[in-house]
């Protein structure tokens, strides 16, 4: 099929061309019918005056797929100054059921549940498609920034023998007759791969059996993971992350008119300072969403930044693989990155000596056994290292101002939804 795209029409005035796409809208006036065809690049207007073609069009409802061969005609009133005249329409597939909602209005009027039930249709709306394009650009920018910084891409197992993060929220499966679990993160695998490539990254699904149904949790999300060796401490990781976020925003800017304020350095405050700024009691063990929001406002006001690092979270609130602050082991070399007052990245320096893992687990009263398969690799020499994980959907939601992460992924999975 030798077709051209709607955006290419202006280069073919007075020529006969073939376009193809979905019937976005028909307007059947008395003397003339307007057919708007949507393809991946945009809309084309087709003028139908021939009675037989009009009859054909009357039988083809919205979202039917057609190929249109016609003459490109300059027209001042038409979008982009061109319309198609004298069309021959070939039907590629016909819609014979009523659409659950209309696609041709500027905003989707259907509620989120209806959109998710009919995702294959809803995602065709430009507003929904744009989020997915931004997600694709974010992933591309992530990979390219990291490759430029000598990181190597890895693929790690999603079926694991035991939970990778302590505790619950793990999906259990039948692995050839014995128990297996879906990986909650590639945490230990990416750490072990630092022993191979020094710097690694992975873009892949992670699974959380989140028992709560909130606007910012998904049962499967895309994690943008990175891990790097031979660091002095978490600040080297924060510097690499800052460069990476800049690369992501740059790539997104090539595809969409959205951006965020990011300087050459992201401001950073210690956890104790963050509590003070947020007006929280100084013995608070973690930052609540309201605190994060207050910190986001503060970063914008004081530093003109949409991003803020919070460092030095209390050790007792961070996972056991976190490296303590050597100056005061109450605090950690772990950090979060807040984006407009929402945590979108967790990272930090990790323990790199096997003995330190043994000690850390014992201090928490946890058994080494479930982690033995991973930790074995730490016996064979690991450099000081650290890394991060960015939640892709949360990042896109925050960047675009979308309130619910379900709108930033094609086919979300949550407590109540396993289809389509």
Whether 45 contacts 83, CB under 8 Å:
yes
Give residue for tokens 């800052």: 242
Contact 267/308 with Cβ under 8 angstroms?
Answer: yes
Of the pair 214, 230, the CB lying nearest its own copies is at 230
- Shortest distance in whole angstroms from residue 416 CB to its own copies: 8
Per the annotation, binding residues for L-aspartate are 165, 208, 346, 350
| Binding-site residues from annotation | 165, 208-210, 216-218, 343, 346, 350, 391-394
In the sheet that 220-229 helps form, which strands lie side by side, from edge to edge?
152-153, 199-207, 220-229, 385-391, 342-350, 334-339, 307-311, 268-270
- Beta strand pairing call for 152-153 and 42-48: unpaired
* Eight-state DSSP code of residue 278: H
Nearer to its own copies, 279 or 326 (CB): 326
Supply the minimum distance, in Å, between the C-beta of residue 17 and its own copies.
14
Q: Which is nearer to its own copies, 307 or 374 (CB)?
A: 374
Q: Is 247 buried (19+), middle (13-18) or exposed (0-12) by CB count in 10 A?
A: buried
What is the C-alpha end-to-end distance of the chain, expressed in Å? 31
48: Cβ contacts below 8 Å, ≥ 6 apart: 32, 33, 34, 35, 54, 57, 87
Q: How far is the CB of 200 from its own copies (least distance, A)?
A: 9
Closest approach, Cβ 286 to its own copies, in A, equals 26
Task: Indicate the pairing of strand 268-270 with strand 220-229.
Answer: unpaired
In whole angstroms, the minimum distance from the beta carbon of 220 to its own copies comes to 6
Q: What are the contacts of 156-162 at 24+ separation with CB within 8 A? A: 156/183, 156/186, 156/189, 156/190, 156/193, 156/202, 156/204, 157/183, 157/189, 158/182, 158/183, 158/204, 158/205, 158/207, 159/183, 161/373, 162/370, 162/371, 162/373
Binding positions for ATP: 208-210, 216-218, 343, 391-394
Q: For its own copies, which is the closer residue by CB, 44 or 64?
A: 64
Min. distance of Cβ 223 from its own copies in angstroms?
Answer: 11
**Which residue reads 């708007």 in tokens?**
36
Count, residues in the chain: 420
Is the bond preceding 420 in cis, omega lying within 30 degrees of 0?
yes
By C-beta, is 253 or 289 nearer to its own copies? Answer: 253
Q: How far is the CB of 280 from its own copies (least distance, A)?
A: 33
Q: How far is the CB of 229 from its own copies (least distance, A)?
A: 9
CA dihedral of 205, 207, 213, 216, whole degrees rounded to 10 = -40
**Which residue, 256 or 280, is less far from its own copies as judged by CB?**
256
* Choice between 54 and 133, CB closer to its own copies: 133
The residue among 191 and 305 lying less far from its own copies, judged by its C-beta, is 191
């Amino acid at each position: 099929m030798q077709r051209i795209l709607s955006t290419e029409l202006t280069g073919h005035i007075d020529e006969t061309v073939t376009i193809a796409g979905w019937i976005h809208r028909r307007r059947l006036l008395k003397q003339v019918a307007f057919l708007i065809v949507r393809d991946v690049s945009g809309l084309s207007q087709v003028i139908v005056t021939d009675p037989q073609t009009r009859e054909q069009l009357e039988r083809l409802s919205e979202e039917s797929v057609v190929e249109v061969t016609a003459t490109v005609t300059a027209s001042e009133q038409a979008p982009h100054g061109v319309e198609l005249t004298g069309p021959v329409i070939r039907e590629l597939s016909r819609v014979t059921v009523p659409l659950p909602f209309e696609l041709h209005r500027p905003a989707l009027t259907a509620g989120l549940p209806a959109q998710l039930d009919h995702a294959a249709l809803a995602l065709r709306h430009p507003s929904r498609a744009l989020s997915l394009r931004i997600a694709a650009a974010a992933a591309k920018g992530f990979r390219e920034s990291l490759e430029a910084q000598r990181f190597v891409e890895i693929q790690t197992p999603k079926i694991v023998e035991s939970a990778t993060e302590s505790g619950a929220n793990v999906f259990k499966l039948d692995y050839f007759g014995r128990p297996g679990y879906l990986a909650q993160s590639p945490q230990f695998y990416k750490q072990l791969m630092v022993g191979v490539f020094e710097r690694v990254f992975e873009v892949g699904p992670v699974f959380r059996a989140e028992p709560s149904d909130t606007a910012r949790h998904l049962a499967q999300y895309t994690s943008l993971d990175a891990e790097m060796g031979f660091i002095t401490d978490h600040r080297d990781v924060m510097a690499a992350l800052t460069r990476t976020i800049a690369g992501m925003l740059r790539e997104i800017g090539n595809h969409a008119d959205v951006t965020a304020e990011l300087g050459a350095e992201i401001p950073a405050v210690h956890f104790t300072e963050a509590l003070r700024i947020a007006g929280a009691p100084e013995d608070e063990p973690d930052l609540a969403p309201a605190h994060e929001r207050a910190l986001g406002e503060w970063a914008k006001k004081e530093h003109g930044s949409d991003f803020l690092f919070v460092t030095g979270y209390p050790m007792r609130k961070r996972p056991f693989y976190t490296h303590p602050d050597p100056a005061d082991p109450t605090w950690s070399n772990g950090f979060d990155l807040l984006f407009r007052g929402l945590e979108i990245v967790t990272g930090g320096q990790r323990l790199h000596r096997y003995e330190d893992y043994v000690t850390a687990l014992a201090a928490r009263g946890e058994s080494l056994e479930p982690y033995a398969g991973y930790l074995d690799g730490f016996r064979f020499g690991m450099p000081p290292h650290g890394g991060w994980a960015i939640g892709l959907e949360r990042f896109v939601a925050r960047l675009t101002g979308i309130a619910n992460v379900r709108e930033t992924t094609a086919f979300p999975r949550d407590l109540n939804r396993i289809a389509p």
